Amino acid sequence: MNFRVVAEIISSLDMSMGSGFSNDNQKNLSEWDKLLIQVGNNRDRSAFKALYEHFTPRLKSFLLRIGSDDSTAEEVCQESMIMVWRKAETFNPESAGASTWIFTIARNKRIDKLRKDRRPLPDFNDPSFYKKPIDKSDDILQRVEEEKKIKKALKNLPPEQAKLILSAYYDEKSHRKIADETNLPLGTVKSRIRLAINRLRTQLEESEGY
pLDDT at 22: 46
- pLDDT higher than threshold 90 for residue 203: no
Tell me, what's the pLDDT at 10?
47
* Domain shared by 180 and 153, yes or no: yes
Asked if residue 36 belongs to a domain, the reply is: yes
Mean of the pLDDT values across residues 100-123?
81
Same domain, 10 and 112: yes
Enclosing domain of residue 83: 3-117
153 and 184 assigned to the same domain: yes
Please name the helix (run of DSSP H) or strand (run of DSSP E) that holds residue 203, with its range, or none: helix 186-207
Of 81 and 151, which is predicted with more confidence?
A: 81
In this model, does residue 6 exceed pLDDT 70? Answer: no
Q: State residue 176's pLDDT score.
A: 86
Same-domain status, 55 and 22: yes
Residue 153 inside a domain? The answer is yes
- From 70, 99, 117, the end of a domain falls on 117
Query: Is residue 177 domain-resident?
Result: yes
Q: What is the domain-level CATH number for residue 107?
A: 1.10.1740.10
Where residue 3 falls among pLDDT bands split at 50, 70, 90? low
**Predicted confidence band at 144 (pLDDT cuts at 50, 70, 90)?**
low
Amino acid 94: pLDDT: 87
7 plus 67 within the same structural domain: yes
In a domain, 158, yes or no: yes
SS3 (DSSP) at 74? helix
What global pTM score does this model have? 0.48
| Structural domain includes residue 122 | no
Band (1; pLDDT cuts 50, 70, 90): very low
117, 146, 166 - which closes a domain: 117
Claim to verify: residue 91 and residue 14 sit in the same structural domain: yes
DSSP code at position 178:
H
* pLDDT-wise least confident of 31-40, 102-111, 155-164, 199-208: 199-208
Are 30 and 105 contained in the same domain?
yes
Residue 210: per-residue pLDDT: 44
Q: Tell whether the model's pLDDT for residue 107 goes beyond 80.
A: yes
Q: In terms of domains, do 137 and 178 share one?
A: yes
Verify that 87 and 156 share a domain, yes or no. no
**Domain tally, the chain:** 2
Q: Which of 73, 93, 117 is the last residue of a domain?
A: 117
Residue 17 has pLDDT above 60, yes or no: no
Q: How many helices (H) and strands (E) does the chain have?
A: 9, 0
pLDDT band per the 50, 70, 90 thresholds, residue 19: very low
The per-residue pLDDT for range 124-143, each reduced to its tens digit, is 555 554 455 444 555 556 66
Tens-digit pLDDT profile for residues 163-185: 887 887 777 788 888 888 888 88
Give pLDDT, residue 138.
Answer: 53
Reading phi first (left if > 0) and then psi (alpha if -120 to 50, else beta), residue 120 is in: beta
How far apart are alpha carbons 56 and 78 in whole angstroms? 8
The verdict on 82 and 184 lying in the same domain is no
Q: Residue 138 falls within a domain, yes or no? A: yes
The burial of 177, by beta-carbon neighbours within 10 Å (0-12 exposed, 13-18 middle, 19 or more buried), is given as: middle
Residue 73 lies in a domain: yes
Give start and end residues of each alpha helix (H) in 43-117.
45-65, 70-87, 98-117
